[in-house]
Structure 1
Amino acid sequence: MKIDFTKTPPKTYTQEEAFAAALAYFKNDDLAARVWLNKYALKDSDGNIYELTPDDMHRRIAKELARVELKYANPFTEDDFFNLIKDFKYIVPQGSPMAGIGNPFQIASLSNCFVIGNSGESDSYGGVMKIDQEQVQLMKRRGGVGHDLSHIRPKGSAVKNSALTSTGIVPFMERYSNSTREVAQDGRRGALMLSVSINHPDSEDFINAKLEQGKVTGANVSVRIDDGFMEAVKNKTPYTQKYPVFSAQPKVSRSIDANTLWEKIVHNAWQSAEPGILFWDTIINESIPDCYADLGYKTVSTNPCGEIPLCPYDSCRLLAINLFSYVDNPFTKQAAFDFKLFKKHIAAAQRIMDNIIDLELEKIDNILQKIAADPELDEVKATERNLWLNIQRKAEEGRRTGIGITAEGDMLAAMGIQYGSEEGNAFALEVHKTIAIEAYRGSVHLAKERGAFSIFDAAREKDNPFIQRLKEADGKLYYDMLEHGRRNIALLTIAPTGTTSLMTQTTSGIEPVFMPVYKRRRKVNPNDQEARVDFVDELGDSWEEYVVFHHKFKMWMDVNGMDSSKNYSQNEIDELIKKSPYFKATSNDVDWMSKVSMQGAIQKWVDHSISVTINLPHDVSEELVGDLYMKAWEVGCKGVTVYRDGSRSGVLISNEEKKEDKPQGILTSFPTKRPQTLEANVVRFQNNKEKWIAFVGLIDDKPYEVFTGLTDDEDGILIPRWVNKGLIIKNKNEDGSTRYDFQYKNRRGYKTTIEGLSHKFNPEFWNYAKLISSTLRHGMPIDKIVDLINSLQLDTESINTWKNGVVRALKHYVEDGTKAKGQQCDSCKSQNLIYQEGCLTCKDCGSSKCG
């Protein structure tokens, strides 16, 4: 959509107007309305809103898709596209395409995910820093990023610099993780996947890195496991690790007990839900792009959720087909799946995806123009420019797409089929096989009209297992592909559809329903005589509890003559669920082995991969996790992730148990006398237009004291932007009084000392800092200190700004999973908030607030 400000200014809407309209559009679904308005409604950097409802957004997208069509034969019209995407009913461009198509206010990519990487086995510091910069440059354009660390030499290897030996993989994991946390993407942080081959001698260190609290918190991690390792586990035989990995002439080689390392992977996944596993030989053997590996399409890693394995500098855009909408007469005995309409729409979805590639190439042109116009020196801009030129080349050459689905759980329920049953798995397989055949047919048809992707070579692909399955299923499609080629190098995926499913008001992706009925709370005025108060929190606020029905569960009730407006008791709710097609079909009910088998069968018809999580109850054994992983490999899954209920906060639970032996309120054993020197982290932040800085002194990585103040006034403190660590040293002044100095190493390795943190800042700040530091030293839990600071009633604007800064600095040290009390989500108003990597994250809608 082109907005011409030289003519009549376009109409804008207030937040209140747009929310009211969106709420009506989503039939009073507060969460869906807020998600759409906050994430996808067209707005400029000043907060002006240009779209009143998703109809406006869908019209914007349809206009752009139709504009692309004019370049080709037999063009679709704007209305053709609008009718496919309106109401989120049939075809839903996901995430970046939805936000970015026709958006003149963002210079950003339409790709959801990227993979980057160094060529060959380069692990020089220059190569490491290049990847770091590329990662940041992609994240600032809204992309999720993955890259592999298998090229980095193992710990203790000889290097030709002053260090003499390599530090190994883990420090670089921390570097890339920290870079991710620094990049903001419209209120959220970037997403990163780090992977490493199990064949790498440092793979065990990689696997263990995330267990250490506060380390590698900005990345998902997955291990690339080869068939040889799995055979060694199965047969209880040794396994040889090498560097370079799988080298015929390795510089490092060692034999390990495969089962010992396997048990470590299983234990860590059981305890913390990571690492994920990538069955790498399955990925490579099944990959069609790897038929072109010598032309730059060798798969090296995956995107952050694991559903798109990619070669360096390739990217992918995502789209979901809403499966529920193809069920005629849902939740009745006459329910039937409309395969005829479904096939027609799959071809249209592939057409939309190909058009989005053209729109992406335009976006990349805009990014390159922006880089060229930036005032930095050419050598500063070189890495970013070359990055986008590489991405442009891959997008134009391979034209990779990512058609997926959402609402699998609701589709099966609407058909009266239990998710996870034999019948359910068989029907799901038929649906996904249909998607594969019709999407490839659509890509062949596009090749006839628009030309095949430029390096298409049928001879290269002829032995690929996926291509062979297509040949067996539909010979005509196969021979048409030999004659005309294919428009796109690879086509299919199954991605998670978090916010997408909120707007389609369906189950997410391939997953079953999480809960068909749940309770939420809304704040009420306690003076309202008519209000029902079910809960009073620690702050004295009153709340009413109310039942929320999953949208399609409510539809089932309405179709079958039940009153969804009634205030049901818990026993009545339980009885309703038993009667429904969602009974024994929730994420916690589905048989785990059945779900793995279903994933493996469907994977045969998905040329990329599948993002799916096996949800397990808290009390399952580690042995079961190992059995699930082994089963996933055997049935042909490309990757697998398990989540044991409470596992991400399981460490916190065990900590609580240990804390019971301590005197009440004393949770951390600090020395009774302050050490002269403390390690310290530097935290920078901005309140309004003022720049602030915090120095947090640490003992055993736990906050012990804090100093905070302005950085840019006459009495403030100035240190280089790149300094984020140092020492706080307790010293004496000439008059015998105490002062606290900050010391750091400059780029040449020399020590630089800034004297007197205690008097560099406003004395009022210092007095409050002493109070806060005292509570830290006595071991008061960080989340309680955050609550305490937030509750302080302070008089001046500057001291309140200081207060907010201290809170922001200390939130980084609240253990992940800690529940935030007395606060509510800005998006959905839920009180189900937890601390996650220094931010408040809503467990109901997934929105995150940092600061």
Structure 2
Amino acid sequence: MDKTRTPKSTRKVYTQNEVMQASLAYFKGDSLAATVWISKYALKDSQGNIFEKSPDDMHRRIAAEIARIESKYANPLSEEEVFNLIKDFKYLVPQGSPMTGIGNPFQVASLSNCFVIGNDDSDSYGGIMKIDQEQVQLMKRRGGVGHDLSHIRPKGSPVKNSALSSTGLVPFMERYSNSTREVAQDGRRGALMLSVSINHPDASDFIDAKMDQGKVTGANVSVRIDDAFMKAVKSDSVYTQKYPIFSDNPLYTKEIKAKELWGKIIHNAWKSAEPGILFWDTIINESLPDCYADLGYKTLSTNPCGEIPLCAYDSCRLLAINLLSYVKEPFTKKASFDFDLFKKHVAAAQRVMDDIIDLELEKIDSILEKINADPENEEIKRVEKNLWLNIQHKANEGRRTGIGITAEGDMLAALGLRYGSQEGIEFSEKIQKTLAIEAYRGSVNLARERGAFAIYDSEREKNNPFVLRLKEADSELYYQMQEHGRRNIALLTIAPTGTTSLMTQTTSGIEPVFLPVYKRRRKVNPNDKDTRVDFVDEVGDSWEEYVVFHHRFKEWMLINGFDVTKNYSQEEMDQLVEKSPYYKATSNDIDWLSKVRMQGRIQKWVDHSISVTINVPNDTPEEMVNQLYMKAWEAGCKGVTVYRDGSRSGVLISNSEKKEEVKEVQLGAFPTKRPQVLEADVVRFQNSKDKWIAFIGLIEGKPYEIFTGLVDDEDGILIPRWVTDGLIIKNKNDAGMTRYDFQYKNTRGYKTTIEGLSHKFNPEYWNYAKLISSTLRHGMPIDKVVELVGSLQLDNESINTWKNGVARALKRYIVDGTEAHGQKCSNCNSENLIYQEGCLTCNDCGSSKCG
């Protein structure tokens, strides 16, 4: 049972200010890291009382619990030894759920980061509803969930109920997606992965679901692609889909042109970053758990981020090793990697991860205890209870772990190696190979001390490609494993480390640095002293600009004698970067095909999978996405996702409405012929001391054209302040030239027309307005139009003020929940921004900036 149920009255409660001050000192003034730790990981009760003053307290909590488990076994690690491994986020970094849940008596939740659930081959409504309830039950305990839909019969198949034929996959995608969005996890949303086999006859509908339906906003989607399909694509031949999938006696078959369906995948991935691709034969052929498929370990799907392929009711806990900490004399010509210390810590990491499984089993006991004590009747509780019993069985029997790495980009820079170079790729592979060998050695040693996982059978694994690579690399380890078995059925992964990398103050996972240096603004209050004003925004607020360095870029500067206190110009910053090991090594610099090759090389030493996204510019052609996906398959990657900058805008909508998508489809890729009469909104605003007005013509509520300028311009716009809408009418003057008139009804209901709207404002404003109106008429998503307007490099202050006014006027039409790309929160520097009621809102710290 969980031994951590300390009464709240015995714990010291800290104020928010005490915790913030201590955390800022811990993170050396890094307010973002401090805020993330306090909001996500500091020990709290349901009333918000905080019981940990700094991450040292959290690490003490975790170390005490792991040491308690260690004491049950031979050769135990002491609490101090564990603490020294995890303190300061320096070496071993447990990921989200373990960091939050270990030793936490206030939360009845799992320590597992991710789960997969499944239904065998049941496609009944009862089976489908059971999965729906199971995913909700897991998400409320902090788990991300994946499941596969290949068992659902295709659209149009006969069914023995009143419907007569099946509706296919898509309605159930929407059901599961909606359930996910309903589940709150301490302020978070549930995370879901839905997958389907390309062999399923409804695969095409699945691939289009997030494009055409606009409803599956609560799930990531990935397609399981087999080698036969890929070969059919390359040879431009026919591929046969079946239901049940890959059946020798299918109930339904469908012949398709593989290249056409592949083209749809490429187009949709190019346009919306989904679906992701899972190269299923590679996953299954390389999978050690699938050597035990007949015993319940057949891989069905992956977790939401794609790095852990799992069988039904299995789960995984994650831990990352901070690679930067093993570089001796970093950022110097003497820099080297401490392989001896690294090997020692990998063995310790495997030990700690096995201990966390025991802690998870205690947590599951607590969950089952709570379920049994709940007042609902047994019939209601049965699904949840059986779910956790199944998960408990798999965790205890297979003892799966998920050890990965973080700070790859910083490690390479500290060694003087350029990310993506041949030398860099080879060194990254060497690191991962060492990690794999030492983790498996650690698991074999644990099998000697604690016993192998219950169903270990060396005969089943003898032809597994991963095991054969281990045998070739270290035959002694292989024969030791044959003799003693190993403690864990599978061990390794590379997961995203988003918030934890903020606390390690390093690059994330195997990703390169995003930007080594950039400028940030701080608002200047009227009473502030000893400040300078570098920028005044459209609402008149003053801002001071200052340079922000990536933590390890700053470390490079200090080691190499550069002044970190200077307020560098952009030219000086560029020159600094050119001198550094981060030059040509940012996420925008990396050759994408090199990144795929690097992933393939590393993947050979990861028994699960790797979560990695290939970021490409907005103007990347579809053919490049095709090449990247094809190269990923050829390189032996297990999965791949390509994100084209800005590609989700106007497609992924986080609220339940799909207005933005419908309008974009109706406007299409070509100009819609302008009706003679358009409904219009009138928007007023103030930039600095100037009063502005905008007339925005609408088609079905979406901006189609814009006229804007100063209210008190020379010709002037005489319109009452109460007028908020009207009509924009296209007419011709006596000379046959087109003009645009604005018409509104006065308080008595009489129509009033302002003629020549397009000539009432500064001609320069009108010329730019025509350009912007053209982009609106072509169906460009509103948030991208706002970004375009903001990026215009205009000559004088007046026209730049006009530019800001246009952006403000258009922001109110951006659908709530639309992701904002290429911008950072001015409060916490997060990129997790969305538009809400026309304002940029940060999902991480909650701050909002309008205008």
TM-score (norm 2): 0.80
What's the offset of the Cα at 1:439?
0.1
Q: CA deviation at 1:62?
A: 0.3
What is the correspondence of 1:330-479 to structure 2 with a 5 Å cutoff?
A: 330-479=330-479
Distance 2:673 2:327 in 1: 54
Alignment of 1:410-809 (within 5 A): 410-528=410-528, 530-649=530-649, 664-669=695-700
Structure 1 residues 670 and 521, CA, compared in 2 at 3 Å: closer, same or farther? Answer: closer
Counterpart position of 1:708: none
Q: Secondary structure at the match of 1:548?
A: strand
2:45 is the alignment partner of 1:44: yes
Asked if structure 1 preserves the Cα contact closer than 8 Å seen for 2:815 and 2:835, the reply is no
Aligned residue number for residue 81 of structure 1: 82
- Counterparts of 1:167-246 in structure 2, within 5 Å, are 167-212=167-212, 214-246=214-246
Q: Take 2:579 and 2:437, find their aligned partners in 1: how far apart are those partners?
A: 36
In 2, the alpha carbon distance for the partners of 1:659 and 1:543 equals 41
Q: CA separation in 2, counterparts of 1:324 and 1:257?
A: 48
- Cα offsets for 1:635-660 (capped at 9, x unmatched): 10000010111111266799599699
Residues of 1 paired with 2:549 and 2:122: CA distance? 54
**What is the DSSP-based 3-state SS (H/G/I as helix, E as strand, rest coil) of the residue aligned with 1:649?**
coil
2:732 aligned residue: none
Cα distance in 2 between the residues matched to 1:847 and 1:312: 37
CA distance in 2, matches of 1:431, 1:112: 25
Alpha-carbon distance in 1 for matches of 2:556, 2:58: 29
Q: Distance in 1 between matches of 2:246 and 2:204?
A: 17
Give the Cα separation in 2 of the matches to 1:811 and 1:489. Answer: 52
Contact 1:116–1:312 (8 Å) recurs in 2:
yes
Q: Please say if residues 5 and 105 of structure 2, whose CA atoms lie closer than 8 Å, have aligned partners that are also in contact.
A: no
What's the offset of the Cα at 1:542? 3.0
Instruction: State the shift of 1:816 in Å.
Output: 2.0
Change (3 A) 1:455 1:527: same
After superposition, give the CA deviation of every residue in 1:109-158 in whole Å (9 maximum; x if it has no partner): 00000000101x21111011100000000000000000000000111111
Deviation of 1:842 (Å): 3.7
Classify the secondary structure of the residue corresponding to 1:319: strand
Kept after mapping to 2: 8 A contact 1:817/1:836: no
Within 5 A, what are the aligned runs for 1:117-132? 117-119=118-120, 121-132=121-132
The 1:604–1:49 alpha-carbon spacing in structure 2 relative to 1, beyond 3 Å, is: same
User: What residue identity is the alignment partner of 1:541?
Assistant: D
Once the two structures are superposed, the pairs formed by residues 122-161 of structure 1 within 5 Å of their partners are 122-161=122-161
Q: Tell me the matched-pair count.
A: 712
Equivalent position of 1:24 in the other structure: 25
1:10 shift after superposition: 1.6
Question: Is 2:272–2:647's contact at 8 Å kept on the other side of the alignment?
Answer: yes
Partners of 1:524 and 1:128 in 2: CA distance: 56
User: Which of 799, 816, 827 does residue 814 from structure 1 map onto?
Assistant: 816
Q: Given that residues 825 and 831 in structure 1 are in contact (C-alpha distance below 8 angstroms), is that contact kept between their aligned partners in structure 2?
A: no
SS in 2 for 1:593: helix
Specify the code of the residue in structure 1 equivalent to 2:515.
Answer: M
SS of alignment partner, residue 166 of structure 1 = coil
Distance 1:836 1:157 in 2: 42
CA change 1:362–1:3 in 2 (3 A) is closer
Residue 565 of structure 1 and its aligned partner are, at CA, apart by 1.2
The TM-score, its normalising length taken from structure 1, stands at 0.80
- Measure the CA separation in 2 of the matches of 1:181 and 1:474: 47
Q: Which whole-Å deviations, capped at 9, do the CAs of 1:76-134 have from their partners, x for residues lacking one?
A: 10000000000000000000000000000000000000000101x21111011100000
The AA in structure 2 aligned to 1:319 is L
1:239-269 Cα distance to aligned partner (Å, 9 max, x none): 0011111111111101101011000000000
Aligned residue identity for 2:98: P
Instruction: Check 1:836–1:416 CA distance in 2 against 1; reply closer, same or farther (3 A cut).
Output: farther
Q: Is the 8 A contact 2:522 2:826 kept in 1?
A: no
Q: SS of the residue aligned with 1:300?
A: strand
Deviation at 1:588, TM superposition (A): 1.0
Q: Which has the larger radius of gyration?
A: 2
Name 1:273's counterpart in structure 2: 273
Q: Take 1:838 and 1:384, find their aligned partners in 2: how far apart are those partners?
A: 41
Report the alpha carbon displacement of residue 192 of structure 1 after superposing the two structures with TM.
Answer: 0.3
Contact 1:239 1:258 in 2 (8 A): yes
Alignment partner, residue 36 of structure 2: 35
Give the CA deviation at 1:3. Answer: 6.5
Distance in 2 (alpha carbons) for counterparts of 1:829 and 1:257: 47
Answer whether contact 2:236 2:258 (CA < 8 A) is retained. Answer: yes
In structure 2, C-alpha distance between the alignment counterparts of 1:357 and 1:839, rounded to whole Å: 44
* Aligned-partner Cα distance in 2 for 1:659–1:528: 52
Partners of 1:394 and 1:832 in 2: CA distance: 35
TM-superposed CA distance for 1:5, in Å, is 6.0
2:6, 2:105 within 8 Å by CA — same for their partners in 1?
Answer: no
Separation (CA, whole Å) in 1 of partners of 2:325 and 2:422? 23
- Match of 1:510, SS state, is coil
Distance 2:192 2:672 in 1: 34
Tell me, yes or no, if the aligned pair for 2:650 and 2:818 is still in contact at 8 Å.
no
Kindly provide the CA deviation profile for residues 456-507 of structure 1, in whole angstroms up to 9, marking residues without a partner as x: 0000011000000000100100000011000000000000000010000000
Question: Is this contact kept in 1: 2:833–2:842, CA < 8 A?
Answer: yes
- Give the Cα–Cα distance (whole angstroms) in 1 for the partners of residues 15 and 71 of structure 2: 35
Q: Which shows bigger deviation, 525-534 or 130-139?
A: 525-534
User: Residues 412 and 76 of structure 1: is their aligned pair in 2 closer, same or farther, counting only changes over 3 Å?
Assistant: same
- Alpha-carbon distance, 1:179 to partner: 0.4
DSSP 3-state at the match of 1:274:
coil
Compute the displacement of 1:615 (Å).
1.1
* Structure 1 residues 90 and 660: alpha-carbon distance in aligned structure 2, compared to 1, 3 A threshold: farther
In the TM superposition, residue 840 of structure 1 has moved relative to its aligned partner by 7.1
Contact 1:825–1:842 under 8 Å retained in 2: no
Q: After superposition, what is the alpha-carbon deviation per residue over 1:365-424, rounded to whole angstroms, capped at 9, x for unaligned?
A: 000000000001110000000000000000000000000000000000000000000000
Amino acid at match of 1:459: E
CA drift at 1:528: 3.4
Cα deviations by residue, 1:213-247 (Å, 9 ceiling, x for unpaired): 64100000000000000000001101001111111
Q: Which residue of 1 aligns with 2:93?
A: 92
Equivalent residues of 1:522, 1:829 under 8 A apart: no
- Residue aligning to 1:742: none
Question: Is the 1:223–1:275 Cα contact (8 Å) retained in structure 2?
Answer: yes
Matches of 1:48 and 1:563 in 2, distance apart? 41
Shift, 1:534, TM fit: 3.2
In structure 2, distance between residues paired with 1:571 and 1:825: 23
**Counterpart residue type for residue 74 of structure 1:** N
Counterparts of 1:408 and 1:847 in 2: how far apart (Å)? 30
What CA distance in whole angstroms lies between the structure 1 residues aligned with 2:301 and 2:615? 24
Residues 641-685 of structure 1 show CA distances to partners (whole Å, capped at 9, x for unaligned) of 1011111126679959969967642334269xxxxxxxxxxxxxx
> 1:10 touches 1:50 (CA, 8 Å); kept in 2?
yes
Change (3 A) 1:837 1:176: farther
Q: Percent identity between the aligned chains?
A: 74
Q: Determine helix, strand or coil for the equivalent of 2:648.
A: helix
Equivalent residue letter for 1:457: D
The Cα shift of 1:211 comes to 1.3
Partners of 1:839 and 1:526 in 2: CA distance = 24
Residues 576/7 of structure 1: CA separation in 2 closer, same or farther (3 Å cut): closer
Question: Offset at 1:520?
Answer: 2.2
Q: 1:108 to 1:272 in 2, by over 3 A?
A: same
Once the two structures are TM-superposed, the CA of residue 54 in structure 1 deviates from its matched residue by 0.4
SS at match of 1:145: strand
Distance 2:4 2:386 in 1: 30
**C-alpha contact 1:188 1:848 (8 A) present in aligned 2:** no
- Structure 2 Cα separation of the partners of residues 659 and 17 of structure 1: 59
| Partner SS state of residue 417, structure 1 | coil
- SS of the equivalent of 1:46 reads coil
Counterparts of 1:295-334 in structure 2 under 5 Å? 295-334=295-334
